[in-house]
Amino acid sequence: MTKYNIWFFSSIIIASIVALPIITVFLSFFSETSSYYSLLKNTFLYEYIFNSIIILFFVILITFFLGVISAYFLSFYEFPFSNFFSWALILAFAVPGYIYAFSIIAFFENYGTAFSLLTFLFGENNYNLVIPKIDGIMGAIFSISFSLFPYVYVLTRASFHYQSNNYIEVGKNLGLSSRETFFKIILPSARPAIVAGLALVSMECLSDFGTVSFFSINTLTTGIYNSWLSFDDLNTANQISFILLLFILFLFSIETFSRKEAKYHQPGRGFKPILKIKLVGKKALTPFIICSVILFVSFLFPVSQMIYWSIKFPKYFHNLNIINLNLNTLYLVLLASISIIIVSLLINYGGRVSKSKILNYLTNFSVSGYAIPGVILAVAFITFFSNISDILSENLNIKISKNIFIGSIFGLILAYFIRFFSLSFNGIKSSYEKINNSIDESAYLLGYSKVQTFSKIHIPHLRTNVILVMLLISLEVIKELPITLILRPFNFETFATQAYIYASQDLLEAAAIPSLFLIFWSSLLILLSSRYILSKKN
Amino acid sequence: MKKTLIISYLFLIAFVGSSFANEVNIFSARHYDSDVQLYEKFTAKTGIKVNVISGKSGALEKRIIEEGADSKADLYITADAGRLGAFEANLQGGLTSAAIKSAVPSNFRTSKWTGIAKRARIIYFAPERVSGAELAGLTYESLADPKWKGRLVIRSSNNIYNQSLVASLIKNNGKGKVADWSKGMVSNMARSPKGNDRAQILAVAAGEADLAVANTYYLALMLSGKKGPEQQAAAKKVKPFFPNQDGRGTHMNISGAGLVKSAPNKANAIKLVEFLLSEEAQNHIVNNTFEYPMIKGVSPHPLIVNMGLDFKQDLKTKVVNYGKRQADALEVMTAAGWK
């Protein structure tokens, strides 16, 4: 029986807020389309779908290899700096795809950094014609792959880590070579984790806006943006969104399914931790080189390109209001993470004390905010509040200024809330479920009130997870681009928007400094959270 | 307790936001750092605070439209007449003061928006590979001539500068002819369109192509050394060419400002536009962005002067046509397979 109490209603409210964009998109699917949709269907739509699929395919391929190979070496072998690599490889997360894209262009373009480097090393010559031009679809594939492969790495590594050594020993006793052990035992049992990682990569890849728009490639996501803005055709935008969402929901169900399966591979009785094989001399060289190359290409390359620019063009340092940018970022990070976490805690708690099934439905609903690309979320957000405000003022004569939601910090935080609620809600839920209900009963018997039980028993138990969730939200907020770009108020820039604005007006060298700050703060958050991530069981 | 106070304070300012009585709000798709300095000068002079939100033109326009009557935007500033023209339904008349009318020639303004600075879209060539005889009498129209096959670079069709250029061609030659012309252009391209205007000039310098179409200020920007010594050296390997000199003249475009329909600070917005057209502001603009001044009596940057000032500008084709013919322009380019 569902109790219709305050917890029930607040859960419903939160669920509807989070589901706003998805509802807006679905509703408009059934409304009339303009002629643009048929034009689009005949000419561009296939190109959009084709480009999205090509990029997705290669990104999956590359992240699979990068993630699994690095996870394999770092889980089963010990070699020089292997402990360092195990967290340093996650740093690639700190470089968003669009910033990676800036570095690629800067390095490979005519008279770019590669040209300067060759001139410096070998004297003057026209190297432009021999330097490969990495741009367009290829550039996007590389940028997205290198910024997302840590998903596969982290999840695969965790799965390898909790693989019992017993299986591996059985394999050895059966006379399998180490290559056979890998392909027949290790890889199949890590499959759910790998699939989960790849599904996350795919979702982020499909929703990418910054990278593909920088390379001016038309994908489903930029198609939505263009039909919305250039052709003022919201229905078409929403219909392409619908196609994109089908893709994403499909991926999401794969991810959920794989995660459930992964749970069966948790350490049970008879678990023996993996004994790492120590590699020395020549044998250590291969894993060491592979890990170094991955670290270099994914993280050190974009960072050094940005540092090189900052030194070469120091004047842009004075043009930036660094203190302001830092404060703005801190402000958004604090507001977003605090409000999202407070609500997640309350809703989780409500679900617990009212033992309501609604919590489970909410979990499913809350995912929609994360699955939907940020740029579409921002579109739907503006549409929704603009329509609501119009309807209220026309029919009920209630005047609500659109400025409360559009172009205000409040609106921005609300949009972040929609986007990142599931991250926080599910993160806290997973650790809440580990607190046995009988503990609450005992607390009540000891005379604790509900509030005391929450603050003195639940909170300390949840603390680690809350901190981790806070770090992850902060990381996402710092890197977030499309929502902030579209919804931010006057005179308000973050590192992400500042870098993107400079880049879009052909001032890549000026984008270096805000990009570096963004990478610095993100790296710091990754370092802080890496010990939770690496030790986390799922 | 202290924590709660700080947190509630954070949320409070999130809701309230800041609001000044004496201000002007700009939505800017043209967001050079030098513009910000200019706004600071304006504030120092008049006491009017300038608030800016910068972004890509599409998103800014959409926000103004969706915010409707609630929009705080006073001025919409962009680097292309085509944008202002296409956005006219959301602008209002009012930029008709004597100061504006006397400063800006009538083909560069309407009552709703006005040019602030000028730029020309011209041709760049590699003197090593293109002779004077080959160039003689070159027009935008003759870029589609088969003799340039595989020798031309130009950016993509979704770029507004190209859309405005093609719109002006449609205005002068008719849609049918320009459709054929677009096909000729595509078959002359040395590579599939990519990169910005500067990348096109660099492609000519690097030997990837012989001709490039790009705006005037990009070459000056590279020559100035602001883009580093490599690009400065590269820029010296290309030469500018001003097309259509025997006919209507070289294609001109503007950076401009439009007065938004719902502008809450209309008077201040007009004051700011008048300031941007003052001699002081014009000098600041031309020396930082390498554009041509909108008003008489101000000299462009020396690097622009070196490129030549005695060319014939197309003052016959009103820039208002760039917006009117924009959809047609995009259509013919897309139909021709211009990426």
* pLDDT value of residue A79: 92
Which of B194, B205, B207 faces A136 most closely, judged by CB atoms?
B194
Q: What's residue B224's pLDDT?
A: 93
Domains B22-118+253-302 and B120-251+318-335 equal at CATH topology level: yes
Cα–Cα distances in Å, from B45 out to A132, A191, B35, B42, B281?
52, 67, 15, 5, 12
Contact B17 A489 (CB under 8 A): yes
Q: Does A42 touch chain B (CB under 8 A)?
A: no
Is A386 within 8 Å of B63 when comparing Cβ atoms? no
Higher per-residue pLDDT: A189 or B191: B191
Residue A201: both structure tokens together? 């990569």
Of A12-21, A198-207, A477-486, least confident by mean pLDDT is A12-21
The pair of structure tokens assigned to B60 is 């800014």
Q: What residues of chain B lie within 8 A of the CB of A335, using their CB?
A: 10-11, 14
Decide if B118 contacts B291 (C-beta within 8 A): yes
pLDDT in tens, A354-384: 776 666 666 666 666 777 788 888 878 888 8
Q: What is the mean pLDDT of chain A?
A: 83
Hey, where are the domains in chain B?
A: 22-118+253-302, 120-251+318-335
Q: Which CATH number is B120-251+318-335 given?
A: 3.40.190.10
The yes-or-no verdict on residue A475 having pLDDT over 70 is yes
Q: Which chain A residues touch B51 with a CB distance below 8 Å?
A: 490-491
**pLDDT tens by residue, A254-307:** 777 776 766 555 555 666 677 788 888 888 899 999 999 999 999 999 999 999
Q: State the nearest Cα–Cα gap between B55 and chain A, in angstroms.
A: 7
Closest CA to B201 of B182, B174, B221: B221
Answer yes or no: do A490 and B11 touch at CB < 8 A: no
Contacts of A129 in chain B (CB under 8 A): 206-208
Residues 6+ apart with CB under 8 A from A45: A223, A240
Q: What is the pLDDT of residues B12-44, one digit of tens each?
A: 555 544 455 799 999 999 878 888 899 999 999
Q: Considering only CB atoms, which chain B residues are within 8 Å of A501?
A: 31, 54-55
What distance in Å separates residue B267's CA from the closest CA in chain A?
Answer: 19
Interface test with B, best of A34, A219, A222, A230 (most B CBs within 10 A): A230
Whether pLDDT at B336 is above 80: yes
A313 in contact with B, Cβ within 8 Å: yes
> What is the Cα–Cα distance from A378 to A382, expressed in whole angstroms?
6
Contact A313 B72 (CB under 8 A): no
Q: Does A178 score more than 80 pLDDT?
A: no
Q: What is the pLDDT of residue A35?
A: 54
Q: Give me chain B's average pLDDT, please.
A: 91
What residues contact residue A39 under an 8 Å CB cut-off, 6+ apart?
none
Give the CA distances from residue A345 to residues A7, A233, A420, A429, B12, in Å, rounded to whole numbers and listed in that order.
Answer: 12, 39, 14, 8, 22
Strands B152-153 and B211-215: parallel
| pLDDT (average), residues A157-182 | 79
In chain B, how many H helices and how many E strands?
16, 9
- Chain B nearest CA to A419, separation (Å): 19
pTM of the model: 0.87
Dihedral (C-alpha) A308, A311, A314, A317: value to the nearest 10 degrees?
70
Model pLDDT, residue A352: 80
Tell me the average pLDDT across A334-339.
Answer: 94
Strands B113-125 and B252-259: antiparallel
B255: three-class secondary structure by DSSP: strand
> Could you tell me the two tokens for A381?
């957000």
Using the predicted structure, report yes or no on whether residue A1 has a pLDDT greater than 60: no
Q: Cβ distance A84 to A517 under 8 Å?
A: no
Report the share of chain A in percent with pLDDT over 70.
87
CB atoms < 10 A from the CB of A366, how many?
Answer: 25
A116 interface with B at CB cutoff 8 Å: yes
Q: Which chain B residues touch A312 with a CB distance below 8 Å?
A: 228
- Residue A491 has its nearest CB partner, among B52, B66, B234, at B52
**What digits encode the pLDDT tens for the residues A508-537?**
888 999 999 999 999 999 998 887 766 644
State which residue of chain B sits closest to A320, comparing Cα positions: B33
The per-residue pLDDT for range A198-246, each reduced to its tens digit, is 888 988 898 888 899 888 888 888 877 777 666 666 677 767 777 777 7
Q: What is the pLDDT of residues A133-148, one digit of tens each?
A: 888 899 999 999 999 9
| Nearest CB to B17; choose among A228, A383, A408 | A408
CATH tag for B22-118+253-302 (out of 3.40.190.10, 1.10.3720.10, 3.90.470.20, 3.40.50.300):
3.40.190.10
Q: Which residue has the higher pLDDT, B13 or A482?
A: A482
Q: Kindly report, residue by residue over A23-41, the tens digit of the pLDDT.
A: 776 666 555 555 554 555 5
At A61, the pLDDT band (50, 70, 90 cuts) reads: very high
Residues of B in contact with A339 (CB under 8 A): 11
- DSSP string covering B259-301, please? EBTT-TTHHHHHHHHHHHTSHHHHHHHHHHH-PEESSTT----
How far does A110 lie from chain B, in Å, by closest CA? 6
User: In the A/B pair of chains, how many CB contacts fall below 8 A?
Assistant: 125
Answer CATH for A40-352+428-535 from 1.20.58.480, 1.10.3720.10, 3.40.1190.20, 2.30.30.90: 1.10.3720.10
- Judging contacts by C-beta atoms under 8 Å, the chain A residues touching residue B56 are 485, 504
